[in-house]
Amino acid sequence: MTTTTAGSPRVARRAIPTAPRTVALGALLALALASCTSGTSTSTTAVGPAGSNAPTAAGSAPSSSSNTATPVDDTVVLNPSVADGASVPVDTLVTVSAKGGTVTSVELSYQDPKAGAVTVGGDIAGDGSTWTAHSLLEPGVTYTLAMRGSNAAGTEKSAKTTFSTTALTAKQQISATLIQNGSTVGVAMPVIVMFSSPVTDKAAFERKMTVTSTPSQPGGWAWVGSREAHWRPKEFWKPGTKVAVKVAINGLAAGKDTYGKADLSGGFTVGNALTMKADLKSHQMTVTINGAVARTIPITGGKPGYETRSGTKVIIEKNAERVMDAATTGVSADDPDYYKVTVKYAMRETWSGEFVHAAPWSVGSQGRANVSHGCIGMSTANAQWLFNQAKVGDPITVTGTGRALDRGNGWTDWNISFEEFVKGSALS
């Protein structure tokens, strides 16, 4: 656009826009201000007095970091120690652990052909991190493991798995028996556990064999061969003691591909303190009951060549009547010393055939001479009285002969010191 002024030469002029320049200056100012702020945030904070910040300017955007939330994993993972569908050996101890929470309940069960559904007990750790079964497994069955867990947010998780155990033959399974289980016994009665087959890993079994008594008395284990274990207190049992025995070997590996068949629980009660002391030099037996002499009995023992063994023995069994045949001790029927006779009130002392029993045929020698084939004989009246008083587990100490009692010939646990006895432990 051009303009003309009267009286002056015609000059063309360009119009100068004013508004656009104002906008441009404002934009430049905004850019300058923006260059003073952080590159990671569009908000600005005015600095106030030392130690404080002024409020954020009106209309400014909040910091981007204030809108970022940390993700929370609320998954509870339950981890059993056996895989789903697995085939596992019976000496497996099942456990369940939790990640991201705690174990709240576990049920481990199987179907028994005779008993039906059987549930295996277990314990949850104090912090809820794991569950552990109370026992090992049964052979040739299928187990179901149902698990539940939760976390602090209240999220719950459940899971289930099944697995099977390998089958075992009868020869692969070892059962245990407690001698005199449930009986009232004498103060010298050892705890005797018999096994149906040899135990190779005695240490593994012994760790799972416990004896407790009321009142409590110290003692220890010793093995007699590979199929028999004895536990004796340091001193004779106190009269009236209650003894409890547990052999927790179900599923436990015994070595050579054999396993414990079942746990065993039992015990016995200790009766009064009856002791017998037989002196075969004086030919007298002193019977003491609860510390008082109850009777002194004239006796006879083994003659030369058949001497009675000296030592501390224990009554093993009682028979009101028993046939004694010398053939069982290796004497042939044509030997002059052969005998086969029925005796009364017989109480076994040794496995080799020594008994305390009635011997009416030798009454004339009782109290004066030793004329038997190794047994301790007495009159029928005295034998009957003693038979009625004595119990399996009562001790009889024999002295006065030059023949010693062999270790293991009977329950010979008291014929040695306690320190020597416990050297027979598999854990010593």
Question: Which CATH number does the domain housing residue 387 bear?
Answer: 2.40.440.10
Domain boundary among 225, 242, 271: 271
| Contacts by residues 230-236 (CB-CB < 8 Å, ≥ 24 positions apart) | 230/190, 230/191, 230/192, 230/193, 230/411, 230/413, 230/424, 231/190, 231/191, 231/193, 232/190, 232/191, 232/413, 232/414, 232/418, 232/421, 234/418, 236/187, 236/188, 236/273, 236/395, 236/414
Answer whether residue 349 is part of any domain.
yes
Catalytic residue among 230, 283, 357, 373: 357
> Does the residue 373 lie in any domain?
yes
Same domain, 89 and 189: no
User: Is 31 contained in some domain?
Assistant: no
Element (H, E) at 205: helix 202-207
Assess whether 228 and 310 both reside in one domain. Answer: no
* Residue 375 is a catalytic residue: yes
Instruction: Return d(Cα 250, Cα 235) in angstroms, integer.
Output: 31
Q: Backbone phi, then psi, for 293, in 5-degree steps? A: -70, 120
Whether 142 and 250 share a structural domain: no
**Which domain does 309 fall in, by range?**
274-415
CB 188 within 8 A of CB 243: no
Q: What share of the chain is helix, strand, coil (3-state, %, to 5)?
A: 15, 40, 50
Surface-to-core class of residue 60, CB atoms within 10 Å of its CB (0-12 exposed, 13-18 middle, 19+ buried): middle
Domain boundary (219, 247, 271) is at: 271
Residues 279 and 383 grouped into a single domain: yes
Residue 3 within a domain: no
In a domain, 428, yes or no: no
CATH number of the CATH domain containing 161: 2.60.40.3780
- Find, among 282, 252, 287, 291, the residue nearest to 391 by Cα: 287
Reply yes or no on whether 230 is catalytic: no
pLDDT tens digits, one per residue of 373-395: 999 999 999 999 999 999 999 99
In a domain, 2, yes or no: no
Closest CA to 118 of 97, 141, 140, 148: 141
Q: Looking at the structure, do residues 278 and 411 belong to the same domain, yes or no? A: yes
Q: What's 200's domain CATH number?
A: 2.60.40.3710
Asked whether residue 233 falls in the same domain as residue 133, the answer is no
Closest CA to 393 of 214, 176, 233: 233
Show which of 147, 165, 183 is a domain's final residue.
165
Q: Is position 1 within any domain?
A: no
pLDDT of residue 67: 52
Residue showing tokens 């004796």: 232
> Do residues 389 and 328 share a domain?
yes
Answer yes or no: are the C-beta atoms of 45 and 53 closer than 8 Å: yes
Shared-domain flag, residues 198 and 184 = yes
Domain count, the chain: 3
Q: What is the pTM of this model?
A: 0.79
| Rounded CA separation 86/142 (Å) | 10
Same domain, 98 and 180: no
Helix (H) or strand (E) holding 247: strand 242-247
Looking at the structure, tell me whether residues 343 and 394 fall in a common domain: yes
Residue 333, domain member (yes or no): yes
Phi and psi at residue 314, to the nearest 5°: -135, 140
Within this chain, do residues 280 and 407 fall inside the same structural domain, yes or no?
Answer: yes
Longest dimension (CA), the chain: 185
pLDDT tens digits for the chain (428 residues)?
Answer: 433 333 333 333 334 344 444 434 343 333 333 443 433 333 333 333 333 443 444 444 444 444 555 445 568 999 999 999 999 999 999 999 999 999 999 999 999 988 899 999 999 999 999 999 999 999 999 999 999 999 999 999 999 999 999 999 999 999 999 999 999 999 999 999 999 999 999 999 999 999 999 999 999 999 999 999 999 999 999 999 999 999 999 999 999 999 999 999 999 999 999 999 999 999 999 999 999 999 999 999 999 999 999 999 999 999 999 999 888 878 888 888 888 899 999 999 999 999 999 999 999 999 999 999 999 999 999 999 999 999 999 999 999 999 999 999 999 999 999 999 999 999 99
**Active-site residue, selected from the candidate residues 230, 283, 373, 375:** 375
Residue 231 shares a structural domain with residue 322: no
